[in-house]
Amino acid sequence: GDSVTQMEGPVTLSEEAFLTINCTYTATGYPSLFWYVQYPGEGLQLLLKATKADDKGSNKGFEATYRKETTSFHLEKGSVQVSDSAVYFCALSEAVGNRDDKIIFGKGTRLHILP
């Protein structure tokens, strides 16, 4: 079945460092790919998404490119801030017929940014 694998954390970086969180997936069809972020004490919220191969999603300085050849969707940010400290989830979904299939999440990567 479909699955998502992302790098385990926690990841600890200094402010203004470059961030990469790796994510790879397996899927039978043509999924959409997502990064969600969970700030302390809150639910998940969408950070960015890409719906087809070679699409790049971007938001708040974060970027990820849908790479079909390597089945990857790595999250990057050039200069992180303390406020980026959160848990990041990579996810995929595939529409099936007239309803969405269930969304598959990675296990999450906790990010700590030190001032």
Partner 1 sequence: DVKVTQSSRYLVKRTGEKVFLECVQDMDHENMFWYRQDPGLGLRLIYFSYDVKMKEKGDIPEGYSVSREKKERFSLILESASTNQTSMYLCASTTGGWENTEAFFGQGTRLTVV
Footprint of partner 1 (CB under 8 A): 31-32, 34, 36, 42-46, 49, 51, 89, 91, 93-95, 98-100, 102-103, 105-108
Q: Report the nearest approach of partner 1 to the CB of residue 25 (Å).
A: 13
Residue with tokens 């708040």: 60
- Our CB check for partner 1 shows the closer of 73 and 89 to be 89
- Our CB check for partner 1 shows the closer of 5 and 72 to be 5
The sign of the torsion formed by the CA atoms of 65, 71, 77, 83 equals positive
- Our CB check for partner 1 shows the closer of 17 and 94 to be 94
- What DSSP string describes 7-18? --S-EEEETT--
Using DSSP, state whether 6 is helix, strand or coil: strand
